[in-house]
Amino acid sequence: MAKSSRSIIFRADDAGVNPSASKAIFHCLQEGMVRNVGIMVPPAGNAEAVAMFRDLPDGAVLGLHATITSEWDGQRWGPVLGAEAVPSLVGPDGTFHPSTAIVKDHAKPEEVEREVRAQLERVLEWGFQPRYLDTHMVFTWIPGMSEAMALICADHDLVFANSGNFQGLPKPAEPAPTSSRDKLMARIDAASAPGTYVYVSHPSYDGADTKGMFKKGGSQWEAILGNRKAEAEMLCDPAVIDEVRQRDIQSLTYVEASAA
């Protein structure tokens, strides 16, 4: 069989943030297109994820979703090292800063590196074999952060997902489609050049735990929740999976893409 000229790394982030997200992501691994899953260590809701993702489906890989921000008002988390050990990473309540902009103004790169190394050690203690590292809210744009993450990856033989070697699927032309299925297909069709692309998703069911993350409520949060539920359904939809196959797309893990 001839090798496809276009490949996609289907990735799901935020495993461990709460049971509803973890269950949706695991279903996308079992029945859907996801082959790469990033686990978060700091959230308190990851105990179920530890048990769930210990036995990954064949062909799937797990990565560390390195986390140094806590953006939701209804669910807060902080460093695994403790606030006193990395004081530049936390606010007055001892949890992570809510945005990367605040991280840029306050966080010390050496404290970020220590915290992410501790998160990686925790994942190893749980019995996982992470194969890649990516960053929650993509904090590698901050000076010094990309270099620190690259060093951790080199030390542990991990693929660095934010290295610049992987390009996201391009955004579709305006007017943008509204459904999850149409958005994905438009982005795949916009990626006309041969190469390997990344599709980052955040599948989740709309359980009380996920709804509780959005304490303030409002249309913005309802839209986020609706998008995550729709994405979970779309990634497991047999008709969508067949459409991707018809476009001659090869699905890869970060490990496979790095070896190609």
* Least confident segment among 41-50, 152-161, 241-250: 41-50
Number of compact structural domains in the chain: 1
Residues 6+ apart with CB under 8 A from 149: 66, 113, 116, 133, 135, 140, 160, 162
Query: Within a domain: residue 99?
Result: yes
Binned at pLDDT 50, 70 and 90, residue 1 comes out as very low
Place of tokens 């032309």: 173
pLDDT average, residue stretch 203-232: 85
Q: Considering the entire predicted model, what is its pTM?
A: 0.94
Query: Within a domain: residue 1?
Result: no
**CATH number of the domain that 187 lies in?**
3.20.20.370
pLDDT score of 166 more than 70: yes
Q: What is the pLDDT of residues 74-124, one digit of tens each?
A: 899 999 999 999 999 999 999 999 999 999 999 999 999 999 999 999 999
Query: Within a domain: residue 180?
Result: yes
Query: Within a domain: residue 109?
Result: yes
CA atoms within 13 A on the CB side of 107: 32
Query: Within a domain: residue 72?
Result: yes
pLDDT average, residue stretch 179-195: 94
pLDDT score of 172 more than 90: no
Residue 231 contacts residue 20 (beta carbons within 8 Å): no
Query: In residues, how long is the chain?
Result: 260
pLDDT average, residue stretch 234-244: 97
Residue 8 contacts residue 188 (beta carbons within 8 Å): yes
Q: What is the pLDDT of residues 146-157, one digit of tens each?
A: 999 999 999 999
Query: Within a domain: residue 158?
Result: yes
Angle at 118 between CA 254 and CA 150, to 5 degrees: 40
Q: Which amino acid is at 39?
A: I
Range of the domain at 67: 6-259
Query: Within a domain: residue 155?
Result: yes
Q: Which pLDDT value is given to residue 3?
A: 62
